[in-house]
């Protein structure tokens, strides 16, 4: 992390931390800055969108004429810890000297050694994040499919109900039409019978001579 105080602006400290991290990371034998566990945490935070400070780098400016950089790092096997530490001190000192803060002190803390058969926790953390993301995506896909299936079932039920309602309407309409036709036929038949009866009555009446 980056330490701030009242003698230097935060942007300058951030720039100094970035310079120190770049210089230290370029030294052969440096596997990573920070600790393995800390790098795993930083990787997870970065994957979920939470930015972290420069890992493994601490910048102190207790006095106006000096800068102290503390570098935590993991060394690759079989590099010698002493040689890597000395090279990091020199590289970081050269990187920070142009800032014009006077004396530059560099402390190196070796937090671990990464061997050929070790598994990087960052890779493991990223795999876990990827697996969790994939699981969430799979669950979301299953939920979406279930919702779609329910919607299709509901649509089928609605269509079936609509078809039944349409059939009942057709049946009712046909029944009403048939009943209306029957009533009309009966009325016509009754009217025709009445007309014939009247004609018969007229024909049966005697005609008086003039």
User: Which residue from 80, 88, 75, 110 is spatially nearest to 20, judged by alpha carbons?
Assistant: 88
| 59 to 1, 54, 67, 95: CA distances (angstroms) | 8, 10, 7, 13
- Check residue 173 and give its pLDDT: 86
- Check residue 104 and give its pLDDT: 92
**Angle 10-25/81-96 helices, nearest 10 degrees?**
140
DSSP classification of residue 183: H
Block residue for tokens 């014009």: 100
The answer to whether residues 108 and 88 touch, using CB atoms and an 8 Å cutoff, is yes
Q: What is the pTM of this model?
A: 0.52
CATH of domain 10-118: 3.30.70.1350
Tens of pLDDT along the chain (210 residues)?
A: 444 343 444 447 888 999 999 999 999 999 999 886 655 455 544 454 444 468 889 888 766 678 899 999 999 999 999 999 999 999 999 999 988 778 899 999 999 999 888 776 666 656 666 777 888 888 888 888 888 888 888 888 898 888 888 888 888 888 888 888 888 777 777 767 676 666 666 566 665 665
């Amino acid at each position: 992390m980056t330490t701030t105080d009242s003698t230097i602006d935060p942007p300058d400290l951030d720039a100094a931390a970035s310079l120190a991290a770049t210089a230290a990371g370029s030294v052969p034998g440096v596997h990573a800055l920070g600790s393995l566990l800390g790098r795993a945490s930083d990787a997870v935070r970065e994957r979920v969108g939470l930015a972290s400070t420069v890992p493994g780098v601490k910048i102190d400016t207790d006095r106006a004429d000096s800068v102290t950089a503390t570098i935590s790092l993991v060394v690759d096997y079989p590099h010698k810890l002493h040689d890597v530490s000395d090279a990091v001190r020199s590289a970081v000192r050269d990187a920070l000297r142009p800032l014009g803060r006077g004396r530059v002190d560099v402390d190196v803390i070796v937090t671990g050694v990464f061997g050929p058969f070790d598994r990087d926790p960052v890779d493991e953390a990223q795999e876990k994040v990827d697996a969790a993301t994939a699981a969430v995506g799979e669950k979301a896909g299953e939920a979406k499919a279930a919702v779609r299936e329910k919607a299709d079932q509901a649509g089928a039920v609605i269509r079936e109900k609509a078809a039944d309602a349409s059939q009942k309407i057709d049946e009712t309409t046909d029944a009403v039409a048939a009943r209306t036709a029957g009533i009309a036929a009966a009325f016509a038949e009754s009217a025709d019978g009445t007309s014939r009866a009247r004609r018969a009555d007229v024909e049966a009446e005697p005609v008086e001579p003039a």
